[in-house]
Amino acid sequence: MKKYINFLILFIFALAGVYAQSVAEDELKSVGDRSGEIVFENYVGPVTEFSTREEIRGIGAFLASTEGIEVTWGNKYQLIRSYEPDIPEGLDSDILILLPDAGVDHIRNLRFILSSYLQTTFDYSLSNADVLAEFITYYNAVYYKDMDHFSSRYKPGVLNHISSSNAGLSTHYSEWAGKSRILIPLKSADKTVLSSLDTPESSVALDTSVISAPEVVEEMQKEEDKALDSRREMVEIREEDLDEKQEVLNEEKEEVIVKEAIVTEKLEEKKEELEEAEPDSLEEKIIQEEVKQLEEEKAVVEEEKKQIEEVQKEIEKEQQEVVEMREEIAKDENILLQEETGSGGTVLSSEAVTEPEGFWFILVDKSGDPASYGSLWKVTRDGIPLKQSELNSIRGTLYLENSEGILVIAGKNDEQTRVNALILDKETLEIVKESKTEIYPGSSIWTDGKNLFMITRNNQDWSVGQYSQSLELLQLSDLKVHPDTGLVFVEDRILVQSLTEGVKALSASSLKELQITE
């Protein structure tokens, strides 16, 4: 069982502005009515190096390992704590800054970092931290670049670290590094969030009623399995939390009853003594002062009773919410069961179904430099989609269809990924072949009918690469070319723009620079 300090002492400390923080679930709750708009676009493309889950979580643990207001990991991730206890209005925040060199490009991995940070900093269990990390990413995506929202909710110190160009989290991975700053809203511990202040790590209790608000559950229900496993787990977590809160509250009720009885009895005794005291005597003045002090103590007890009553109402409200969650889970279980049992009721015709004539089209999803990001679609003549590639990092809008499949250029350049030429299967649109060399993201794909030509990495520069139809590099020009050059095929030669000397001619067969004689 989590440690909780006495409600009464905690309330007094909260009024005094005790430095004890918890994740501000009240702020996170507001994501519910807008989260349905959020679909995270992760990088799908060539990868040169994989990081394990433990390595990724290690980033979050490191960001939480150093006490202070600013921690940086490898010039890629930075964690800033903005805490202003002297300002009563507004939210404080931990801010996870994705620096320009950050390599994270999948929402799963970003949540691993957040989860590990929350687990280490606030002493959450792994499962609780995972749930909260997921919700924080939705929250930040909903309000991405919405400075009107952040300005109305957060304290000045937080606002000093964000702007309309980076506040929150983009839904597209290409706008994470250098362009997103994730806010983890914080608030000082108060009577509604129990916190243990008698240990150095100051463990925090999560208000699970917020992260499982009806609006959030409604969004989870849109998943194919209606997120039943996660919702069942959340119900169990909330029930455990409520049992602990109720147990602590019952102890506080007993303490207040005892305190009230003692103060009332003493007050009655002193009032009797006051009646017997000689008027205007020193004794009367002393007793009057004691009566005044006891009346003040009684007022404090009355206020404590009021606070306990408010907490009891909150617990009862949460208990009703949990009951409703269980009812919704039961309904969804029945719906899925009916769908499973009813799936065999209709027999489809065994006659072959002819797929409509389709046309390949690269649909741009996000702007990029020097070329956009997109995915390969097959559509009808009216633009109706028939299939779509999982690959979503195709650069530009050019493709080439050959006997091997659909040739595209895809990927992004950082420490763990690069841009390659890929061949996609025409039926499944899955990657079946990949070049072993790096291709310029803005390169076109040229062909002389037999071979392929693309702008290819040559150490720190770019050259013309000649490839087989299956993406084997056959030869590479010695001449360094401008990466955005065009290629013009003229009989036995290829005209290109060199890196420094204008247009040059290459041999179409050897890619050697042709020496022009006067």
Token pair listed for 228: 């039943």
Token pair listed for 68: 């202070």
**Rounded to the nearest 10 degrees, what angle do helices 107-122 and 126-142 cross at?**
120
User: What is the Cα gyration radius of the chain?
Assistant: 33
Q: How many CA atoms does the CB half-sphere of 136 hold within 13 Å? A: 28
pLDDT band at 191 (very low <50, low <70, confident <90, very high): very low
Q: How many residues does the chain have?
A: 518
CA distance 304 to 23: 25
Query: What's the whole-model pTM score?
Result: 0.64
Q: What is the pLDDT at residue 185?
A: 82
For residues 330-349, average pLDDT: 69
For residues 498-508, average pLDDT: 93
CA distance 82 to 88: 14
DSSP annotation of 29 reads: G
Q: What is the pLDDT at residue 23?
A: 57
Provide φ and ψ at 191, rounded to 5°.
-70, -20
211 to 26, 235, 307: CA distances (angstroms): 9, 11, 24
Q: What is the pLDDT at residue 82?
A: 83
- The chain-wide mean pLDDT, for the chain, equals 82
**For the ranges 129-138, 314-323, 484-493, the one whose mean pLDDT is highest:** 484-493
Neighbours of 33 (CB within 10 A): 15
Handedness of CA 254, 257, 260, 263 (dihedral sign): negative
Q: Is 297 left (phi over 0), alpha (psi -120 to 50) or beta?
A: alpha
Q: How many CA atoms does the CB half-sphere of 105 hold within 13 Å? A: 22
Beta strands in 15-133 (DSSP E): 21-23, 70-73, 77-82, 92-98
DSSP H helices, 123-227, are 126-142, 147-153, 156-159, 208-211, 214-220
Residue type, 455: I
Q: What is the pLDDT at residue 142?
A: 77
Residue 194 in this model has a pLDDT that exceeds 60: no
Neighbours of 300 (CB within 10 A): 14
User: Which residues have C-beta within 8 Å of that of residue 86, sequence separation ≥ 6?
Assistant: 17
CA distance 304 to 6: 11
> Are 429 and 390 spatial neighbours (Cβ–Cβ below 8 Å)?
yes
Residue 16 in this model has a pLDDT that exceeds 90: no
For residues 221-246, average pLDDT: 79
Provide φ and ψ at 467, rounded to 5°.
-130, 155
Residue 158 in this model has a pLDDT that exceeds 70: yes
Which residue has better confidence, 224 or 146? 146
> Are 104 and 47 spatial neighbours (Cβ–Cβ below 8 Å)?
no
Q: Provide, rounded to the nearest whole percent, the portion of the chain with pLDDT above 90.
A: 48
Which residue has better confidence, 94 or 108? 108
Name the least confident of 63-77, 101-115, 189-203, 479-493.
189-203
DSSP H helices, 221-281, are 228-276
Residue type, 145: K
Q: What is the pLDDT at residue 7?
A: 36
Q: What is the pLDDT at residue 66?
A: 65
The full set of domain ranges for the chain reads: 21-188, 205-347, 366-507
pLDDT band at 232 (very low <50, low <70, confident <90, very high): confident
CA distance 193 to 196: 10
For residues 382-392, average pLDDT: 92
44: nearest Cα among 359, 365, 379: 365
Q: What is the pLDDT at residue 118?
A: 87
For residues 372-390, average pLDDT: 92
